[in-house]
């Protein structure tokens, strides 16, 4: 492997890793406020790409991405209000079953609207053939877009959770919902908000990577498992370390293609999931003691 | 005691009567073609009741049941399509031949084909599925809730990807031309129209045997251990139930049921494709168990029969998968105990007792 190839693999790994990070951040935000793992998280990414594709047919790219993010956030809000809110008292098993059911519904609904074709948004700048040279490797400008959006999102999320009142209220809900309620935080609103934010983030990710990885109605369940792998790798409940874990998994996958057949790349990441779940469920960066206190 | 023993087999008798009745109805109404879908439903039901034991009785969610179904199907599809005709002089084929494990048959193209008897691949399918369930189950069943769901779903996806990416498994095309399974000298499991009725009865006979086995398991010491496990794992552990072992064993039983179902389905259809191992298929099994009332093998059987039959007949059209999604959502929201609950039967009986029998007394 030459140095150029290594760089090429690194960039493609970071691109795929970013999309996993987007899904994992979504998982974490919802998990933090509700303790639910939303199996429909991958579907938000698909919805984002698909909605933006439809709107980009008759308007500029930026507004169509914004519309896609807002609409998907609305879908997230509807899901929370119509389904999750009624289910507060259900068992974990019930929660899993209902979010799985919702993911199938969203997916089949999308199949009905957008059929089986693979779609792709146009490149944000340039086209498929334009490339930028960075230290000898030639990469698509879209990769830079992906990296920039991931970086901006990470910083924005950090600022939101750390310094804004709403962000602090959201973190309070994850620490202790009852205490948060006693402090006058409307926890049910925070839960709605967390579904909307994580749906929106998923949609944004879906838009940014769509030119590179394409959008297909059935892409959700794969993303759900891989995003979950990343969320666990980074330690569940920690949205920011999910970014690091996402990039790590992306790199592993990308380099595995150089050794193994392409079709097996999913097998690698799922094996990583199984190993980490069994060996260190608190994640690479999490503490075992803190994880033991959590209820899955 | 004996009376109780007999009572638990009443549903078996009802099932057998229903199977007979359905066949008679199709005979009289001239709709014998429906038996094909009913036979296929029987094989899917076998996989679903296996999952019902894991999910309903032991309380361990498994989203990888289709993976085990595919293990069973692909094992026999690979093993029984190896043609030994030109290699009969080799060491292994001669050994197999001397053990009467090779069958020679004329293909539809007029060539002769020598292949391994499906009895051998049935044993292989069951052993491989049980081994896979053991290897996956020991570490994974230590997990709970979301983690267990994701891990089992991951297992299903791994099987799906391996099947899709490996040449020996036919990649996206699957494996076709799987020979029939000759169970008895005069009967074989295959899609041949002339033996459709025989296949229908054979499939449901296997289901009935499976149900009798499960009834005995549920009402045994291990069955009570399972129920304790579902109620509270800690409490069961404290009462001396070896929870880890019980969970793995029940997971293996579920896997073997699914593998057997996959085995028979593959011989019945004459082939298997990668879609049998997809996540959507696994979700289907979960929704059948959920709508059947979770810890209710009879509910699972009934709903599995009805839903699979309707789905195979194409009643749901484009919304085939969506129907199962809707079922999951609606059941969890409005009837978390399932559509077929024991209470429904009690309600009906009470109603009958009050309204009809009392009126007779007057």
Here the CATH number for the domain that contains residue A44 is 1.10.3470
Specify burial of residue B252 (Cβ count, 10 A radius: 0-12, 13-18, 19+).
buried
Q: Which residues of B touch A230 (CB under 8 A)?
A: none
Instruction: Give the separation between CA B38 and CA B273, rounded to whole angstroms.
Output: 20
Average pLDDT across chain A, whole number: 85
Closest CB from B59, B280, B332 relative to A90? B332
Mean pLDDT is lowest, of B26-35, B107-116, B224-233, for: B107-116
User: Given a cut of 80, is residue A189 above it in pLDDT?
Assistant: yes
CA torsion B120-B125-B131-B133 (nearest 10°) is -160
Choose, out of B170, B328, B331, the residue to mutate when testing the contact with A (most A CBs < 10 Å). B328
H-state helical runs in B166-278: 196-218, 221-231, 233-238, 243-269
A228: containing domain: 3-292
Q: State the pTM of this model.
A: 0.87
Percent of chain A with pLDDT over 70: 95
Domain total for chain A?
Answer: 1
Q: Which residues of B touch A263 (CB under 8 A)?
A: 161, 164-166
Question: A59 to each of A52, A56, A62, A67, how far by Cα in Å?
Answer: 10, 5, 9, 11
Give the residue from chain A lying closest to B319, CA to CA. Answer: A108
pLDDT-based confidence at B2, cuts 50/70/90?
low
- B residues 275..294 contacting A (CB < 8 A): 279-280, 283, 286-287, 290
Average pLDDT across chain B, whole number: 85
User: Given a cut of 60, is residue B87 above it in pLDDT?
Assistant: yes
Question: B357 to each of B342, B347, B350, how far by Cα in Å?
Answer: 21, 15, 10
User: Given a cut of 70, is residue B19 above it in pLDDT?
Assistant: yes
Mean pLDDT of B209-238: 86
User: Is the Cβ–Cβ distance between B302 and B291 less than 8 Å?
Assistant: no
Q: Which residues of B touch A98 (CB under 8 A)?
A: 328-329, 332-333
Distance from CA of A144 to the nearest CA of B (A): 30
pLDDT for residue A289: 58
Bigger pLDDT: B107 or B239?
Answer: B239
Determine, for residues B329 and A109 on separate chains, whether the beta-carbon distance falls below 8 Å: no
Give the residue from chain B lying closest to A226, CA to CA. Answer: B154
Q: Which residues of B touch A260 (CB under 8 A)?
A: none
Q: Which residues of A137-167 are buried (b: 16+ CB within 10 A; e: fewer)?
A: bebbbbbbbbbebbeebbeebeeebeeeeeb
Instruction: Give the separation between CA A144 and CA A125, rounded to whole angstroms.
Output: 10
Q: Which residues of A touch B150 (CB under 8 A)?
A: 37, 225, 228, 273, 277
Strand bridging mode A137-139 / B175-176: unpaired
Q: Which residues of B touch A222 (CB under 8 A)?
A: 157
Distance from CA of B348 to the nearest CA of A (A): 27
Mean pLDDT of B63-69: 94
All structural domains of chain B with their residue ranges:
2-80+117-275
In this complex, is the C-beta atom of B155 within 8 Å of any C-beta atom belonging to chain A?
yes
Distance from CA of B361 to the nearest CA of A (A): 45
Chain centre distance of CA B106: 31
Determine, for residues B336 and A94 on separate chains, whether the beta-carbon distance falls below 8 Å: yes
Question: Which two structure tokens, joined as six digits, stand for B270?
Answer: 């004459």
Distance from CA of B276 to the nearest CA of A (A): 16
- B residues 72..101 contacting A (CB < 8 A): none
Mean pLDDT of B42-66: 91
Chain centre distance of CA A165: 24
* Residues belonging to chain A with any Cβ–Cβ distance to chain B shorter than 8 Å: 37, 39, 83, 86-87, 90, 92-94, 96-98, 100-105, 107-109, 111-112, 221-222, 225, 228, 232, 261-264, 266-267, 270-271, 273-274, 277-278, 281, 296
Q: Which residues of B touch A111 (CB under 8 A)?
A: 318
Q: Which residues of B44-63 are buried (b: 16+ CB within 10 A; e: fewer)?
A: bbbbbbbbbbbbbbbbbbbb
pLDDT digits (tens, 9 = 90+) for A88-139: 667 777 888 888 889 999 998 898 888 888 888 888 877 777 777 777 777 7
User: Given a cut of 60, is residue B159 above it in pLDDT?
Assistant: yes
Mean pLDDT of B105-121: 77
Mean pLDDT of B151-174: 88
User: Given a cut of 90, is residue B292 above it in pLDDT?
Assistant: no
Determine, for residues A228 and B287 on separate chains, whether the beta-carbon distance falls below 8 Å: no
Mean pLDDT of A45-53: 92
Which residues lie across from A215 on neighbouring strands? A119
pLDDT for residue B210: 94
Residue A242: name the closest of A230, A224, A228, A254 by CA.
A230
Distance from CA of B332 to the nearest CA of A (A): 6
pLDDT-based confidence at B358, cuts 50/70/90?
low
Instruction: Give the separation between CA A291 and CA A227, rounded to whole angstroms.
Output: 19
Instruction: Give the separation between CA B192 and CA B121, rounded to whole angstroms.
Output: 21
pLDDT-based confidence at A296, cuts 50/70/90?
very low
User: Is the Cβ–Cβ distance between B46 and B40 less than 8 Å?
Assistant: no
pLDDT digits (tens, 9 = 90+) for A233-243: 888 877 778 88
Bigger pLDDT: B339 or A182?
Answer: A182
User: Is the Cβ–Cβ distance between A48 and A204 less than 8 Å?
Assistant: yes
User: Given a cut of 80, is residue A50 above it in pLDDT?
Assistant: yes
pLDDT for residue B359: 58
Question: Which two structure tokens, joined as six digits, stand for B134?
Answer: 């053991």
Q: Which residues of B touch A271 (CB under 8 A)?
A: 158
CB pairs under 8 A between A and B: 130
pLDDT digits (tens, 9 = 90+) for B203-215: 999 999 999 999 9
pLDDT for residue B340: 65
Q: Which residues of A touch B166 (CB under 8 A)?
A: 263
User: Is the Cβ–Cβ distance between B152 and B64 less than 8 Å?
Assistant: yes
Choose, out of B322, B332, B335, the residue to mutate when testing the contact with A (most A CBs < 10 Å). B332
In this complex, is the C-beta atom of B232 within 8 Å of any C-beta atom belonging to chain A?
no
DSSP for A89-124, written as a single string: TS-HHHHHHHHHHHHHHHHHHHHHHH-S--B-PPPS
Determine, for residues A98 and B332 on separate chains, whether the beta-carbon distance falls below 8 Å: yes
Determine, for residues A108 and B286 on separate chains, whether the beta-carbon distance falls below 8 Å: no
Q: Which residues of B touch A232 (CB under 8 A)?
A: 147
Instruction: Give the separation between CA B187 and CA B189, rounded to whole angstroms.
Output: 7
Instruction: Give the separation between CA A260 and CA A200, rounded to whole angstroms.
Output: 35
Give the residue from chain A lying closest to B328, CA to CA. Answer: A101
Q: Which residues of A touch B329 (CB under 8 A)?
A: 83, 98, 101-102, 105
- For residue A128, the 8-state DSSP code is T
User: Is the Cβ–Cβ distance between B310 and B316 less than 8 Å?
Assistant: yes
In this complex, is the C-beta atom of B164 within 8 Å of any C-beta atom belonging to chain A?
yes
């Amino acid at each position: 492997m030459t140095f150029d190839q290594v760089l090429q693999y690194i960039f493609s790994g970071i691109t795929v890793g970013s999309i996993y990070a987007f899904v994992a951040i979504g998982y974490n935000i919802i998990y933090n406020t509700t303790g639910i793992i939303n199996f429909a998280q991958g579907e938000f990414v698909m919805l984002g790409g698909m909605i933006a594709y439809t709107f980009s047919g008759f308007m500029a790219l930026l507004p169509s991405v914004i519309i896609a993010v807002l609409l998907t956030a609305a879908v997230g809000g509807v899901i929370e209000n119509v389904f999750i809110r009624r289910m507060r008292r259900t068992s974990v098993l019930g929660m899993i079953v209902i979010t799985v059911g919702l993911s199938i519904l969203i997916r089949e609904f999308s199949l009905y609207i957008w059929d089986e074709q693979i779609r792709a948004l146009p490149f944000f700048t340039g086209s498929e053939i334009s490339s930028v040279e960075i230290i000898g490797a030639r990469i698509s400008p879209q990769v830079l877009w992906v990296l920039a959006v991931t970086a901006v999102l990470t910083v924005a999320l950090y600022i939101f959770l750390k310094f804004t009142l709403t962000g602090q209220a959201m973190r309070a809900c994850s620490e202790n919902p009852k205490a948060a309620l006693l402090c006058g935080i409307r926890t049910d609103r925070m839960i709605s908000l967390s579904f909307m934010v994580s749906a929106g983030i998923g949609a944004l990710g879906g838009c940014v990577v769509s030119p590179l990885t394409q959008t297909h109605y059935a892409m959700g369940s794969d993303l759900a498992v891989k995003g979950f792998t990343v969320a666990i790798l980074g330690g569940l409940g920690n949205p920011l370390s999910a970014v690091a874990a996402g990039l790590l998994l992306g790199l592993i996958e990308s380099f595995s293609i150089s050794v193994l057949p392409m079709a097996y790349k999913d097998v690698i990441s799922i094996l990583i999931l199984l190993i980490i779940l069994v060996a260190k469920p608190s994640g690479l960066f999490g503490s075992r003691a803190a994880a033991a206190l959590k209820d899955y | 005691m004996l009376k109780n023993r007999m009572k638990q087999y009443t549903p078996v008798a009802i099932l057998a009567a229903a199977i007979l009745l359905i066949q008679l109805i199709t005979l009289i109404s001239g709709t014998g073609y429906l038996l094909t879908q009913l036979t296929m439903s029987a094989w899917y039901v076998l996989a679903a009741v296996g999952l019902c034991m894991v999910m309903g009785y032991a309380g361990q969610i498994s989203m990888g049941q289709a993976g085990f179904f595919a293990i069973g199907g692909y094992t026999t599809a690979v093993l029984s399509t190896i043609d030994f005709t030109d290699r009969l002089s080799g060491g292994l084929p001669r050994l197999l031949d001397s053990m009467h494990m090779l069958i020679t048959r004329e293909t539809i193209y007029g060539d002769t084909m020598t292949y391994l008897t499906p009895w051998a691949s049935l044993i292989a399918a069951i052993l491989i599925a049980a081994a896979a369930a053991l290897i996956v189950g020991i570490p994974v069943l230590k997990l709970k809730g979301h983690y267990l769901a994701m891990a089992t779903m991951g297992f299903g996806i791994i099987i799906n990807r391996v099947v899709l990416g490996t040449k020996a498994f036919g990649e996206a095309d699957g494996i076709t031309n799987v020979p029939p399974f000759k169970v008895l000298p005069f009967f074989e499991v295959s899609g041949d129209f002339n033996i459709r009725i025989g296949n229908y009865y054979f499939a449901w006979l296997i289901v009935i045997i499976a149900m009798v086995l499960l009834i005995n398991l549920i009402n045994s010491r291990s069955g009570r251990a399972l129920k304790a496990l579902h109620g509270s794992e800690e409490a069961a552990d404290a009462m001396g139930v070896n929870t880890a072992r019980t969970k793995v064993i029940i997971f293996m039983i579920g896997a073997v049921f699914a593998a057997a179902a996959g085995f028979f389905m593959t011989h019945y259809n004459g082939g298997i494709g990668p879609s049998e191992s997809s996540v959507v298929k696994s979700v289907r099994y979960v929704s059948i168990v959920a709508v059947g009332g979770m810890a209710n093998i009879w509910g699972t059987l009934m709903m599995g029969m009805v839903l699979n039959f309707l789905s195979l007949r194409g009643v749901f059209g484009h919304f085939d998968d969506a129907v199962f999604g809707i079922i999951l959502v609606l059941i969890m929201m409005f009837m978390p105990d399932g559509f077929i609950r024991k209470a429904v039967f009690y309600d009906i009986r009470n109603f009958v007792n009050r309204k009809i029998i009392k009126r007779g007394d007057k």
